[in-house]
Amino acid sequence: MKIAAIIGEREAELVEMPDPVPVGEFVLIKIHRVPMCTEYKGYLKGNKNDNLGHEAVGEVVDMAQPGNVAIGDRVVLQCGSGCGQCALCYSGEHIHCLNWSWPGIQNPRFAQYALQKDWLCSKIPDDISYDHAGLALCGLGPSLGAMNQIGVEATDIVLITGLGPVGLGGVINASHRGARVIAVESLPYRANLGKELGAEEVFDPSDLDILKKIKELTGGEGVDKALDFSGAAQAQRLMLDATKRRGEVAFVGEGGEVPLVVSSDMIRKGLVLRGNWHYNISDFPQLVRVIQTSKGKLDRLITHHFPMSEVRDAFELQSTGECGKVLLDPWA
């Protein structure tokens, strides 16, 4: 099969590797769409890698034993793995499993075929395309999980900092719940896309009056809930300052070392701080409903398609920030 590999600084190409073989609970998936995420950062740094990716959707084509899916099923390959035996896995939090492992083989997602454990293959309803199903991973998943944790509701004013593809998915999830959305983003392309997807206002983080303006939009109190997708310390600090007393915030974007004052931020202000990586697998039906009712917005969130043979061009585009979610077709 063909896979995409980073072979040097700003260099990527397709290479051949043996087709993976299903063993035990792992099933073989023919990949139809590969949503791209942060892999471009390794491309820019020249980190050689032929095991790229963590997002994929496709069709079950082979298995070693009967399981939770059947040959011909269209499935989302859930990010990561899990032992399937610990309390975290049983509770749907496989993403936090400390005992997960692969069967000793490479298993890239920038590939024509991949393996996944059958219980981590979520079936795609017939009315959802592969393009839209691909957003059930990082496109919509982390923000849905975070909003479930902090209880985003229709009566809330929500602040979203960072409108990369994951943050843009957060705008869709918050709007789907009926919440008012205020966002922060420095790139004009993504700021405009955020407004198209439902953000009421999008502020530039370099605006010295940004906190004052957010407070003015919220009657002087601050937002009810806030989520950071940027991983930037400045944005994380703004999120804490812009959230009202007894509000709740979620950290989703990785990176940054935000200064936290326990007394004023948490005790006297009463903030609830949560960290979120992905979503509980039991929330997949909820995510399906978001996809089924947001197809027009999802078409705007997916800004570009590339054949996997042009993965270098796709990485270059991502590095500019002039895009939303980018999808690869492994068979083109």
Q: Which of 275, 295, 310 is the last residue of a domain?
A: 275
CATH number at residue 75: 3.90.180.10
For 139-185, the pLDDT digits (tens) are: 999 999 999 999 999 999 999 999 999 999 999 999 999 999 999 99
For 262-304, the pLDDT digits (tens) are: 999 999 999 999 999 999 999 999 999 999 999 999 999 999 9
Q: Which of 231, 257, 275 is the last residue of a domain?
A: 275
Q: Which of 229, 260, 275 is the last residue of a domain?
A: 275
Domain that holds residue 130: 2-138+280-329
Question: Is 284 in contact with 121 (CB distance < 8 Å)?
Answer: no
Secondary structure, 3-state, 90-122: HCCCHHHCCCCCCCCCCCCCCECEEEEEHHHEE
Residues 266, 186, single domain; the answer is yes
Residues 80, 189, single domain; the answer is no
Cα 241 to chain centroid, rounded: 25
Q: How many domains does the chain have?
A: 2
Residues 91, 164, single domain; the answer is no
Residue type, position 325, single letter: K
- Which pTM value belongs to this model? 0.96
CATH number at residue 249: 3.40.50.720
Question: Is 294 in contact with 270 (CB distance < 8 Å)?
Answer: no
Residues 134, 7, single domain; the answer is yes
**What's the rounded Cα separation, in Å, for the pair 327 and 94?**
25
For 68-98, the pLDDT digits (tens) are: 999 999 999 999 889 999 999 999 999 999 8
Residues 153, 216, single domain; the answer is yes
278 phi and psi, to 5 degrees?
A: -150, -150
Residues 222, 249, single domain; the answer is yes
Report the DSSP pairing between strands 243-251 and 272-275: parallel
**What's the rounded Cα separation, in Å, for the pair 2 and 4?**
7
